[in-house]
Chains A and B, each alone.
Chain A
Amino acid sequence: MTLTLAVNLANIEKSFGTRPALLGADFSLEWGEVHALLGENGAGKSTLMNVLSGFYTADSGVVEVDGHPVRYENPSAAAAAGIGMIHQHFKLVGPLSVIENIRLACARRAGWKTQGQALAAMQELGLQLGFKLNPKSRVDEMAVSDRQKLEIMKVLLAGAKILIMDEPTAVLTEEEAKAALGLARQLAQSGRAVVLITHKLRDVLGYSDRVTVMRAGKTVINGASSAGMTGESLSRAMVGAEPVAAVPRPATRPRREILRLIKINAAATEHGVPLHDISLDVRGGEILGIAGVGGNGQAELVETLIGIRKATSGEVIFNESPAPDGPEERREAGLRFIPADRMGMGLFGELALNVNVAVPRLLGQKPEKRWFVRKPWMTGIAKTAITDFEVAGAAAETTVRLLSGGNAQKLMLAREFAGHFAILIAHSPTRGLDIRAVQAVQTRLRAAAEKNVAVLLISEDLDEIMELSDRVAVMSHGRLSEAEPIGEVDRGKIGRLMLEMA
């Protein structure tokens, strides 16, 4: 008996303006399976699934759902056909409650007329899935893993038969990730079809039936069984060449302490947690890695370090004296910062490249120019930045938001690494970058450490922490564990620490 495919995508092409995202991608999905869609950042996985779920429209190609050719003009149409996408960045309305979010997405499709009907449906589904959510909680006050559960419930109550989960484990701890992936299994076994978009090899190998690998907008491996796959073969398919060698770690030579935090307490950001008695020290020439899932105080820590958030108690020490207040003064004292959200908190997307690199040099007590900032000077520094840091596809006057993620990050580095600096705070510096850009950034971090800079690396990517750090600490629920030398730490220990500190 031949079963119709739940989904068949063939030769899909999609461009955003002049930027091509999909160059002929294929994907097929069977009922009852968990199918992993693997690829590095920028390969086109999310874009392809956004086409399927009606969020984008393909420029050309075949889209068939349950054997019929379809074209969805908007997410509503796709949802009506039973396609539910759980985005990496949840599409929940923060200030509304759980039940309001569910009603918003499902009321019309499920035919509910009263809140009572919605509540009943929600409770019934909760029993089936094995978890409970408080219908009255405000979404923006909920934990990330609960919000993901809400997204899943929302999509199921709207009648989804085909579920697409975009990077579901990116924001979860090890334990939560296992639970989420187990849920995916359960849903597939109940007759639905689940797509798992991920760039983590372990998710693929442990939890999927088949895997499709994408690279640079095309499909490289189309629906092969996961059983016979190895990490190396998948990695090679993702990158297209031999896996890139890890950044070499030089022998450690401990130097003088440059940055110290003593029992820092700080209030929480809008969706974060308060800091509780954070103490750490970073020496010149070393990379201190802080591991941990986002939302556990990293944002607050970073804001306190750069000076835009005042600690309620505790001290920040630069070079054995109290750090000055304010980001301008700390920058002058030698602090540099690479934010996690490079377009949101780092670069000025609307402005030109030369203005972006010039602005920090105009600040502080001894700015490079004060009264007459001239074009030739700006162009000069811009050109140097572009060449030294290999920013591709850009000229001095290019608007920064046109740069790709990797090149934007290289520009960010060019800006921050200018002049003499002693402390570098790097917050998720390789998030969303393709493998070559990741390598470039990591090399720069190592190089900075070699020049005696005290580097504080805060990252959700455990592999990155393990590879780069000289010492490792774990951040959880606003607290920081004792930093331990890399030799004495492994993934298991980190996972345990995260649980202990909960």
Chain B
Amino acid sequence: MSGILTAWLGTIPTFAAPFLLATIGLIINERAGVMNLGVEGIMAVAAVVAVIVNLSGGDIPLAILGGIGAGLVLTAVFAFMAVVLRIEQVLAGLVTFALGIGVSGYLGDSFENQPITGLSPLPAAWFAHLPPVLAGILDQDLLTYFAFVAAVAIWFVIEHTDLGLRLRATGEDAPAADAAGVSVPLMRIGAVMAGGVFCALAGTHLTLVGSHLWVDGMVAGRGWIAVAMVTLSRWSALRAIAAALLFGAVEALVPQLLSSGLNVPVYLIEMSPYLATLAYLLISGFFQTTADAQPADLARPYLREERR
């Protein structure tokens, strides 16, 4: 039993990291007032390009860069639609999502199911002197560590720097931010692109760390769960850590249960992360503080000459 416990705990950060990265990216977007529903598509293209680069002989850093680059191209399309053309953000996000799924399916067609070396965890020897449970938790790869460090760093930038202040103002009250001298379109594009980097990293994590190969549809709705997680984290990157760990824990449990040999309803277990997200969304709706935390100008396009 303790073997399963150790294995489970040890895999939680691996499962949590993509959620965390994607959620951080979305938080940056939404605090600036932009709702990016294309995250699932961005993750998909980043994931597939990372695999393609690795299979074509590129090393890990190049694969990560490739993934980020691909994600940024798609993010740029979204930024153009949502901020410049001021298309309804939900629609722009859905188009981005479909483009991402379509393009990634097309690109990855001939690379499916081919294993890659991917990213390995840090050397086990570093943690050998620790109790097994702790060693299991701490022995992760660099990208996973980066996710958790980035969450704290982003939280700090948003809450305590002048740049973060301008970002927040843009999301709460774009006309007031404009009057205060912030260029709303530039700030929003910047936020979308910066957020896109993190969403792309989430995608590269899925393939480089998680599965070590590409299969069409492997993002499996994690991007959408990240969208829900932003609400659950009440738009705070720090709280996102807790939310991501929670979901990582649920997702990490699935393979453990499956391999335990117990007779469990497989599909119902696979359903549980999504049900859990739904449940949390509904429950958090009871609390007013969640609604208050939402940036007031979220998903409202801004144009200065408009007589509001």
**A107 and B305 form a contact (CB under 8 A):** no
Q: CA of A101 to CA of B182 in the docked complex: distance in angstroms?
A: 12
Q: CA of A101 to CA of B123 in the docked complex: distance in angstroms?
A: 48
Choice from A16, A55, A87, A107 contacting B304 with Cβ under 8 Å: A55
On chain B, the residues within 8 Å of A16 by CB distance are 305, 307
On chain B, the residues within 8 Å of A101 by CB distance are 180
A34-72 interface mask toward B, CB cutoff 8 Å, 1 = contact, 0 = none? 000000000000000000000110000000000000000
**A104 and B180 form a contact (CB under 8 A):** yes
Closest to B168 in A: A96
Q: From residue A151, how far is it (CB to closest CB) to chain B in Å? A: 10
Closest to A90 in B: B176
Q: CA of A107 to CA of B180 in the docked complex: distance in angstroms?
A: 10
Q: CA of A458 to CA of B84 in the docked complex: distance in angstroms?
A: 42
Q: From residue B21, how far is it (CB to closest CB) to chain A in Å? A: 27
Closest to B293 in A: A95
**B172 and A75 form a contact (CB under 8 A):** no
Q: CA of A105 to CA of B178 in the docked complex: distance in angstroms?
A: 10
On chain B, the residues within 8 Å of A93 by CB distance are 168-169, 172-173, 176-177, 180
**B166 and A104 form a contact (CB under 8 A):** yes
Q: From residue B188, how far is it (CB to closest CB) to chain A in Å? A: 15
Q: CA of A56 to CA of B303 in the docked complex: distance in angstroms?
A: 12
Size of the chain B interface, CB-CB below 8 angstroms: 20
Q: From residue A445, how far is it (CB to closest CB) to chain B in Å? A: 27
**A94 and B173 form a contact (CB under 8 A):** yes
Choice from A85, A92, A95, A105 contacting B181 with Cβ under 8 Å: A105
**A95 and B296 form a contact (CB under 8 A):** yes
B1 within 8 A of A: no
Dominant secondary structure of chain A at its interface with chain B: mixed
A90-124 interface mask toward B, CB cutoff 8 Å, 1 = contact, 0 = none? 11111110001101110111000000000000000
**B165 and A100 form a contact (CB under 8 A):** yes
For chain B residues 122-176, which have a beta carbon within 8 Å of chain A? 162, 165-166, 168-169, 172-173, 175-176
For chain B residues 229-266, which have a beta carbon within 8 Å of chain A? none
B283 within 8 A of A: no
**A107 and B172 form a contact (CB under 8 A):** no
On chain B, the residues within 8 Å of A95 by CB distance are 172, 296
A79 within 8 A of B: yes
Choice from A55, A56, A92, A103 contacting B176 with Cβ under 8 Å: A92
Q: From residue B158, how far is it (CB to closest CB) to chain A in Å? A: 12
Q: From residue A479, how far is it (CB to closest CB) to chain B in Å? A: 26
Residue from the set B178, B180, B304, B305 with the largest chain A CB neighbour count within 10 Å: B180
Chain A interface size band reads 20 to 34
Q: CA of A104 to CA of B176 in the docked complex: distance in angstroms?
A: 10
**B305 and A91 form a contact (CB under 8 A):** no
A186 within 8 A of B: no
On chain B, the residues within 8 Å of A105 by CB distance are 179-181
**B162 and A103 form a contact (CB under 8 A):** yes
Q: From residue A405, how far is it (CB to closest CB) to chain B in Å? A: 11
Known interface pairs A75-B179, A87-B179; A103-B173 also in contact (CB < 8 Å): no
A442 within 8 A of B: no
On chain A, the residues within 8 Å of B168 by CB distance are 93, 96
Choice from B172, B183, B307 contacting A96 with Cβ under 8 Å: B172
**A96 and B180 form a contact (CB under 8 A):** no
On chain A, the residues within 8 Å of B175 by CB distance are 91
On chain A, the residues within 8 Å of B304 by CB distance are 55, 74
Q: CA of A16 to CA of B306 in the docked complex: distance in angstroms?
A: 9
On chain B, the residues within 8 Å of A74 by CB distance are 178, 183, 304
For chain A residues 315-373, which have a beta carbon within 8 Å of chain B? none
**A75 and B296 form a contact (CB under 8 A):** no
Q: From residue B178, how far is it (CB to closest CB) to chain A in Å? A: 7
Q: From residue A193, how far is it (CB to closest CB) to chain B in Å? A: 20
Q: CA of A75 to CA of B307 in the docked complex: distance in angstroms?
A: 16
**B177 and A104 form a contact (CB under 8 A):** yes
Q: From residue B301, how far is it (CB to closest CB) to chain A in Å? A: 15
Known interface pairs A56-B305, A94-B172, A96-B169; A75-B178 also in contact (CB < 8 Å): yes
On chain B, the residues within 8 Å of A399 by CB distance are none
**B296 and A91 form a contact (CB under 8 A):** no
Q: CA of A133 to CA of B77 in the docked complex: distance in angstroms?
A: 45
Closest to A154 in B: B180
Choice from B165, B176, B183 contacting A91 with Cβ under 8 Å: B176
A398 within 8 A of B: no
**B162 and A107 form a contact (CB under 8 A):** yes
On chain B, the residues within 8 Å of A87 by CB distance are 179
**A104 and B182 form a contact (CB under 8 A):** yes
**B169 and A104 form a contact (CB under 8 A):** yes
On chain A, the residues within 8 Å of B169 by CB distance are 93, 96, 104
A226 within 8 A of B: no
Closest to B162 in A: A107
A76 within 8 A of B: yes
Q: CA of A91 to CA of B169 in the docked complex: distance in angstroms?
A: 11
Closest to A53 in B: B179
Q: CA of A90 to CA of B175 in the docked complex: distance in angstroms?
A: 10
Closest to B179 in A: A91
Known interface pairs A94-B173, A104-B169, A107-B162; A76-B181 also in contact (CB < 8 Å): yes
On chain B, the residues within 8 Å of A85 by CB distance are 179
Closest to A113 in B: B162
For chain B residues 249-288, which have a beta carbon within 8 Å of chain A? none
Q: CA of A94 to CA of B181 in the docked complex: distance in angstroms?
A: 17
Choice from A55, A56, A91, A94 contacting B180 with Cβ under 8 Å: A91
**B181 and A103 form a contact (CB under 8 A):** no
On chain A, the residues within 8 Å of B180 by CB distance are 91, 93, 101, 104-105
Choice from B296, B305, B307 contacting A94 with Cβ under 8 Å: B296
**B165 and A103 form a contact (CB under 8 A):** yes
Q: From residue B303, how far is it (CB to closest CB) to chain A in Å? A: 12
For chain A residues 437-464, which have a beta carbon within 8 Å of chain B? none
Sampled A-B contacts (18; CB under 8 Å): A55-B179, A74-B178, A74-B183, A75-B178, A75-B179, A75-B181, A76-B181, A87-B179, A91-B176, A93-B168, A93-B177, A94-B296, A96-B172, A103-B162, A104-B177, A104-B180, A105-B180, A105-B181
Chain B residues proximal to chain A, CB less than 8 Å: 162, 165-166, 168-169, 172-173, 175-183, 296, 304-305, 307
Additional A-B contacts beyond A74-B183, A96-B169 (17; CB < 8 A): A16-B307, A55-B179, A55-B304, A74-B178, A74-B304, A75-B178, A75-B181, A79-B181, A91-B176, A91-B180, A92-B173, A92-B176, A93-B168, A93-B172, A94-B296, A105-B179, A105-B181
